[in-house]
Chains A and B, each alone.
Chain A
Amino acid sequence: MSTQQSPSQTIGPMYGYALYAKGMNRSTEPGEPGAVLIRGAVLDGEGEPVAHPDALVEVWYGDQFTRARTDAFGVWHVRVRKPEAGLELPDGTGLAPYLHATVWARGLMKQAETRIYFPDEAAANAVDPVLARVPESRRHTLVAVPEDDGGLRFDIRLQGGDETVFFDF
């Protein structure tokens, strides 16, 4: 007997004073082992930014949980530790390192869940069982892009020709 589930409703634009506080967008500091700055835009189907105050991005893995808001240009950023190698599915299949990313926004009736993969893990990404389930033409939307300052770029396109891959887990 299954109990009627509570449906999702949009986060709306007014969550900021309740869900976000300064510093929540980092789980580590510059120079710490594995620390990486990840930034990206949240874009709508017309390529317009989903700007402040409309979008919240949660990036987490294991004991790291970060929240970031988009700014006037639709850009968010987090500073996190890259997960170490050796992740596995319950059956022992190896996984490439990744971070889980959840997008909440005004106009999103429920969360959009994606995964951030690392560009310096090409060999692991090539045999990752999750990426293998994604049509090849769309896999690149899940792999962050190196930036000149050593950080990574991960744009999230909610809709449109190069729509980011979202998952049902």
Chain B
Amino acid sequence: MSQLDANPPYFHPAYLITKKRAPREPLVQLPRGWFHDLAGPTFGHLAVKPTDNDLTIQHDGPPQGQRIVLSGRVLDSDGRGVPNTLVEIWQANSAGRYVDRADPGFMPLDPNFTGAGRCMTDHQGNYRFTTIRPAAYAGPKGTMFRPAHIHFSLFGRTLSERLITQCYFDGDPLIEHDPIIEAVPDPKGRRRLVARFDGESTPLTSGGETSALSYNWDIVLRGRSATPTL
């Protein structure tokens, strides 16, 4: 069975725009020994500074919204950590507005929040971002209301590990109504996209201006299946 099977199909009619954009021809299958484990791209353009993983310190003051620490591990499909790999994120602010000019602009910008970050995983595959919880937001008329989410882009080590996905938040009632999440066929896969509140790491009683709610979210890349693929 192809490791691609955890992914949603290209064509998912409830996400209307897939009707015109989903490739319809079957993918041309190549033998796994050819390119599956080919080293992925290197990215000299994308220098990472140590503070790039804190989205709350990019401006003169703190951003509006609920401060969170979102952390976890990047794993391969055998459950081993993927060290030293680039993680890029982007998100709306606490009102549901993106800085990007493509945003329809219903909601206000926050002068203290851009909503883009990056980091490299450590030697065990751990990543960590300090940010604010984005709001759910409505798209342009005729589209959809999205649950709160943070976009993630990951390179992994090989061609087959490259992934762009979205992180959702446990307890968000919009998750079960979202056509983009619904497109994932396996309920276990849908749950994999939801970050859990981490009560043990959240200093609920400590307070202080830098206190943040902790969320945990592991990301499992497609590469290196433990079972042989034919």
Whether A44 contacts B30 by the Cβ 8 Å rule is no
Q: Determine the distance from Cα of A124 to Cα of B163 in the docked complex, in whole angstroms.
A: 31
A153 at the interface (CB under 8 A from B): no
In-complex Cβ contact of B151 among A15, A138, A169 (8 A): A15
Interface with B: A32-40, A104-112, A143-151, which one? A104-112
Cβ-defined partner of B29 (8 Å) among A90, A108, A110, A168: A168
CB of A134 closer than 8 Å to a CB of B: yes
Q: How many A-B residue pairs have CB under 8 A?
A: 213
Q: Is the CB of A15 within 8 A of B20?
A: no
For residue B68, CB closer than 8 A to chain A, the reply is no
Residue of chain B at shortest CB distance from A45: B20
Once the chains bind, are A44 and B226 in contact (CB under 8 Å)? no
Q: Is the beta-carbon distance between B159 and A169 smaller than 8 angstroms?
A: yes
Contact partner of B21 among A8, A58, A65, A159, CB < 8 A?
A: A159
**B41 near A106 (CB under 8 angstroms)?**
no
Are A18 and B21 CB-contacts (below 8 A) given A7-B192, A11-B151? no
Is B25 a contact of A163 with CB atoms below 8 Å?
Answer: yes
List the 8 closest A-B pairs by CB distance, nearest first: A18-B90, A107-B17, A18-B116, A107-B21, A65-B41, A5-B6, A53-B102, A60-B41
- Report Cα–Cα, A96/B3, bound state, in Å: 27
The interface bits of chain A over 1-28 (1 if a CB of B lies within 8 angstroms of the residue's CB, else 0) are 1111111111111111111010110000
Residue of A nearest to B191 (CB): A4
B108 within 8 A of A: no
Instruction: Collect the chain B residues with CB atoms within 8 Å of residue A165's CB.
Output: 25, 28
Question: Which residue numbers of B lie inside 8 Å of A, CB to CB?
Answer: 2-4, 6-10, 12, 15, 17-25, 27-30, 33-36, 38, 41-45, 75, 77-79, 88-90, 92, 98-103, 114-116, 151, 153, 159-160, 162-166, 180-181, 183-184, 186, 188-190, 192-193, 218-222, 225-227
Distance (whole angstroms) from the CB of A54 to the closest CB of chain B: 8
Beta-carbon contacts of A109-124 to B below 8 Å, as 1s and 0s?
1111000000000000
SS class, residues of chain B in contact with chain A: loop
- Asked whether, in the complex, the Cβ of B33 is within 8 Å of the Cβ of A107, the reply is no
Known A1-B226, A5-B192, A7-B8; contact A106-B17, beta-carbon cutoff 8 A: yes
Distance of B110 from chain A, by nearest CB (Å)? 14
Cα distance A10–B99 when bound, in Å? 19
- For A53, the chain B residues whose CB sits under 8 A away are 100-102
Check if A126 is an interface residue, CB within 8 A of chain B.
no
A103 to chain B, nearest CB (A): 9
Q: Would you list 30 pairs from A and B whose C-beta atoms are within 8 A, ordered by A residue?
A: A1-B226, A2-B77, A2-B78, A5-B222, A6-B221, A7-B6, A8-B7, A8-B164, A9-B193, A12-B151, A13-B102, A17-B99, A18-B116, A19-B88, A24-B45, A58-B41, A65-B41, A65-B44, A67-B45, A89-B33, A100-B159, A110-B8, A130-B34, A158-B21, A159-B22, A159-B23, A163-B24, A165-B28, A166-B23, A166-B27
